[in-house]
Structures are given as C-alpha cells and as structure tokens.
C-alpha cells in the first residue's frame, strides 16, 4: 500500500527531434530542479534514483518518467533493475523518433507538447499500475575486441534483433553520430530510415542471411528450424516495432500461436525474409514468420563470424566477438497504461492482468 507518490523525470536531451532541452526546462518548472535529471550529463539514471530512493518515505512510491526514445526507456529500466529498487513505477514520455514503448502503452507516438503534458500529470500520479516484463541479454566473448558491443546496460524492454533491420539502424545512427544537427526531426528521421533501407536493398550486394551468422537457435531449450531465406531475426516483448509496425500480428483463434502479452514472461521470436517483407508488414498489416514463444532464447553464433549487426530497442552495434548469445527475463517493473491505451489498435500492448483507469482520469478522445 502506498501513502504518496514522488514524481522524478529523467530526460535524454539527445533523443529524436531534440525536444529534450526545452522539455527539461518545462519539467523543472513543474516538478522542481531536484526532481529532474539530465541522463547525458549524469551518464545514466543511477545518481537521481539513488538520491530520491534515500529521500523518500518508507511507503512512498516513486513514479519515474523516462523522457526520450525507446533506448532511453530501457536505459532507465536497466538502472532500476541493476540497483534492485522496489516501489518504482516507470513510464515513457515520447521524445524519440520511433517511440514504440510509448505507442504500445498508449502514451502516443510523438512529443505531446508541454500544454498537453501538463494536463496529464494528475493522470500519471493517480492511475493504477500494471506490470511490464524487462529482459536482459549477455554475449559470451572469449576475447573482447575494442568497441565491439554496447555499453554495460544490456537490458531491453521492446525487442532485440539481428540482421538487415539492425544494419539499417546502424547506418542511420552512424550518420547521425557524425552529423547530429542533420537529424533533428522525428518525421525526418523516419524518412532517413527508409532512405537507408532502400539504398541497402538496391545497391548492397553483401546482404547476409541470418544463417550466415547463426548456427543454432534454442527457445526454452528446444531447437528451432531457422528458415534458410530470412535476413532478420526479431525477439520481441511488445507488439510495436520500428515506429509502429506489428510483426507478430494477431494470430487466428484457430492458430497454435498465442497473443503477444507484455507481462507473461514470454518473448515472441520471428523472422523477416527481407526489407520488402518488412514494408508489407508495416504498410499492409501482414506479419513476420512466427517461429516460437518462450521465456529464454539462446543463439549459437557460427565460428569466426564478426561484425554482426544487432540492435536493442533501436540502439545498434556491430557484435565483433562471441559464441553464445543469451536472452532471459530480468524482472518485472510496474508501469501505467496511457490515456490512449483503451483505443483498440494492433500495436497497443496486451496484458494478462487488467488495470482499469478511473473514468474521471481518462484523457482519451
């Protein structure tokens, strides 16, 4: 039981359309400077979480706003998980480009603006919570090469993928890292993703199939037969992917596949044949090749492979070492369904347990 709620915001000033700095000023005005932290300046959320965890009363709940893109949400979730904090509720504020977690939870797919967000603060404080699965991954490297993998967070909340889609994300991010001022629009960033994808499809003759990287894949100890023609492998927790696509789709009631749920301690494993297949999934409402559902995924990479394109929640890298790639549940974190969640769409998250928002707090239109 909770007596009161403490709101704390973590803002990524470098996310998406660069709305972070002005949103940070707005949040400081509403919450006070001691309740708002710059993730880039602090190099993570640990400083702010530690401070407010020590300052709060015994039965006081901390509601944490992860203000940024999908990578920001998983960054903060990873910090909470590593610190082992309890009575912490994590919510997304969409400042990124794809914003798939914010979409899935019903918070909207784009920056809400300060005026609308101010009206949502009571909703954020008073709405009931529901659980969200948080996942972790590890790579067994016999010899670690320099800059071969991402920072030590190693947590994800949306999805982890390998192959052609991760290569597109990597090329986009490498261009953005080199010229950050060129990529300062959410819509523009989505268009640039399409440009890099088209270039890769038309001119790149070195597109690998997943079988070039992966020797074996196991889900809950059961070996899968990986199709020979697929170029991307997706391991997903939420139904929204790549700025609103829904690759798992809605299995037919006669199908042996279950629905994608975000609090059932299971992942959906699927594959894409190529980028044209992804376009059909996103534009025409198709679905990926469904392979498995389970709580633990293990990949055995082929001997000698390197430079494997991988991404976790939109944060890409080249995996340059490793033999075993393991994915397992880290924990569950409480979250809050956004005001738009009651609107029925394919990419809204589904839960095993319900958490009804009081009618007087509903902002859905």
Percentage with pLDDT > 90 across the chain = 63
pLDDT value, residue 2: 61
Average pLDDT for 236-254: 93
Pairing of strands 159-163, 308-312: antiparallel
Separation of alpha carbons 156 and 78, rounded Å: 8
Nearest to 173 by CA among 145, 193, 156: 193
> What is the pLDDT confidence band of residue 362, given thresholds at 50, 70 and 90?
very low
Separation of alpha carbons 77 and 90, rounded Å: 7
- Residue 121: count of CB within 10 angstroms of its CB: 14
pLDDT value, residue 83: 96
- Residue 345: count of CB within 10 angstroms of its CB: 14
Residue 191, pLDDT > 90, answer no
φ, ψ of residue 328 in degrees (nearest 5): -150, 165
Residue 268's H or E segment, with its range, is strand 267-272
CA dihedral 239, 183, 192, 115 (to 10 degrees): 50
pLDDT value, residue 42: 95
Cβ(224)–Cβ(217) below 8 Å: yes
- Residue 170: count of CB within 10 angstroms of its CB: 19
> What is the pLDDT confidence band of residue 267, given thresholds at 50, 70 and 90?
very high
Cβ(288)–Cβ(311) below 8 Å: no
Alpha-carbon distance values, 12 to 106, 201, 336 (Å): 20, 32, 20
pLDDT value, residue 178: 83
pLDDT value, residue 115: 84
pLDDT value, residue 142: 64
Percentage with pLDDT > 70 across the chain = 91
- Least confident range from 16-20, 126-130, 179-183, 262-266: namely 16-20
- Least confident range from 34-48, 168-182, 189-203, 235-249: namely 189-203
Mind listing the pLDDT tens digit for each residue in 109-165?
888 888 888 888 889 999 999 999 999 999 887 655 544 444 545 899 999 999 999
Mean pLDDT score across all residues of the chain: 88
Separation of alpha carbons 33 and 51, rounded Å: 13
Mind listing the pLDDT tens digit for each residue in 217-234?
999 999 999 999 999 999
- Residue 239: count of CB within 10 angstroms of its CB: 28
pLDDT value, residue 307: 85
Separation of alpha carbons 266 and 98, rounded Å: 23
Q: What one-character-per-residue DSSP string does 312-333 give? A: ETTEEEEE-S-SEEEEEEEEEE
Residue 262, pLDDT > 60, answer yes
Mind listing the pLDDT tens digit for each residue in 1-32?
567 999 999 999 887 667 888 899 999 999 99
């Amino acid at each position: 039981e909770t007596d009161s709620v403490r709101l704390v915001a973590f803002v990524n000033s470098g996310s998406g359309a660069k709305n972070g700095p002005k949103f940070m000023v707005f949040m400081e005005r509403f919450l006070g400077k001691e309740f708002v932290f710059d993730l880039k300046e602090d190099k993570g959320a640990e400083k702010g979480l530690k401070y407010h965890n020590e300052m709060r009363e015994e039965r006081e709940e901390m509601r944490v706003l992860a203000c940024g893109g999908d990578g920001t949400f998983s960054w903060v979730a990873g910090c909470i998980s590593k610190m082992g904090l309890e009575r912490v509720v994590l919510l997304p504020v969409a400042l990124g480009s794809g914003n798939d977690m914010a979409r899935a939870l019903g918070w909207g797919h784009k920056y809400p603006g300060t005026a609308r967000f101010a009206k949502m603060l009571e909703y954020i404080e008073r709405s009931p919570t529901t659980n969200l699965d948080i996942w972790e991954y590890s790579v067994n490297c016999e010899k670690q090469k320099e800059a071969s993998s991402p920072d030590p967070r190693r947590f994800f909340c949306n999805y982890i993928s390998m192959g052609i889609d991760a290569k597109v994300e990597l090329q986009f991010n490498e261009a953005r890292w080199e010229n950050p001022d060129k990529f300062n629009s959410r819509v523009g960033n989505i268009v640039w993703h399409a440009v890099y994808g088209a270039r890769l499809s038309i001119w790149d003759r070195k597109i690998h199939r997943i079988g070039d990287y992966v020797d074996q894949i196991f889900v809950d100890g059961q070996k899968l037969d990986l199709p020979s023609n697929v170029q991307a492998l997706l391991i997903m927790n939420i139904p929204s992917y790549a700025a609103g696509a829904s690759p798992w789709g809605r299995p037919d009631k006669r199908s042996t596949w279950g629905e994608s749920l975000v609090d059932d301690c299971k992942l959906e494993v699927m594959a894409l044949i190529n980028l044209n297949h992804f376009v059909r999934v996103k534009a025409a409402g198709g679905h990926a090749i469904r392979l498995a559902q389970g709580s633990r995924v293990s990949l055995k990479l082929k001997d000698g492979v390197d430079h494997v394109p991988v991404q976790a929640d939109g944060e890409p890298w080249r995996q340059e070492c490793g033999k075993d790639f393991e994915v397992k549940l880290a924990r569950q974190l409480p979250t809050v369904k956004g005001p738009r969640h009651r609107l029925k769409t394919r990419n809204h998250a589904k839960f095993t347990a319900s958490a009804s928002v009081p009618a007087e707090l509903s902002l859905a239109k």
